[in-house]
Amino acid sequence: MRIMGRLSRPDRDEDPVPNRRHLLANGAALVSALVGLGATRFARALEDTIVHSDAEWRKRLTPEQYDVLRQAGTERPFTSPLLHEARGGVFSCAGCDLPNFSSKTKFDSGTGWPSFWAPIEGAVKQTEDSSFFMTRTAVSCRRCDGHLGHVFDDGPKPTGLRYCMNGVALKFTPGVA
């Protein structure tokens, strides 16, 4: 096996099945080769990931937060106190406190959910959601994988996107945005 340089391998006299040391050495080289210059960023993202058991999430979150963040539920429209939040600040994931959106990108979409035209760079991830007989793009927190809402292409400039978030999945911290 050869990926971007010479990799360690068992001596020819050894059993042809790779030993643990061989797999670890080649696995690290493979990851490094695949990730390239982003290896440090990739490693930090893995270190920063938050994983809890289902029971632990149930203890940490309210029933409404658990339904949205862990079960991909949706809060009822026009029920979130964050819908009308107009102060400067940051909207963070209610599951892990990672800042996800700046108040500078918040706008009134008229849909009943807090909406933003862009997330904070690197704070969210997007996946295809084909529930309810339609295809949408789901948005989740990069750190804890908590479901935040969906993104649509009917938002304002400069992005033309509408990140339609469940307010119960977010916490607001006033201050510099």
pLDDT in tens, 130-160: 877 888 899 999 999 999 999 999 999 999 9
Give percent helix, percent strand, percent coil of the chain, each to the nearest 5. 35, 25, 45
One domain, residues 31 and 83: no
Confidence label for 166 from pLDDT (cuts 50, 70 and 90): very high
One domain, residues 108 and 82: yes
One domain, residues 140 and 80: yes
3-class secondary-structure state, position 99:
strand
One domain, residues 101 and 24: no
Dist CA 9 CA 22 (whole Å): 6
One domain, residues 119 and 164: yes
One domain, residues 70 and 153: yes
Mean pLDDT (the chain, rounded): 81
pLDDT in the model for residue 177: 67
Residue 123 belongs to domain spanning: 54-174
Of 119, 104, 121, 128, the closest CA to residue 164 belongs to 119
Q: Which residue has the higher pLDDT, 116 or 7?
A: 116
Predicted confidence (pLDDT) per residue in 65-119, tens digit:
999 999 999 999 999 999 999 999 999 999 999 999 999 999 999 999 999 999 9
- Domain tally, the chain: 2
pLDDT in the model for residue 135: 86
pLDDT in the model for residue 48: 80
One domain, residues 71 and 119: yes
Q: Which amino acids are annotated catalytic?
A: 164
Contact criterion met (CB below 8 Å) for 161 and 155: yes
pLDDT in the model for residue 41: 46
With residue 158 as reference, give the H or E element that holds it. Answer: none
Q: Domain holding 73: CATH number?
A: 2.170.150.20
Residue 129 above 60 pLDDT?
Answer: yes
pLDDT in the model for residue 175: 92
Dist CA 62 CA 12 (whole Å): 59
Predicted confidence (pLDDT) per residue in 25-47, tens digit:
444 443 443 444 355 444 454 55
3-class secondary-structure state, position 103:
helix
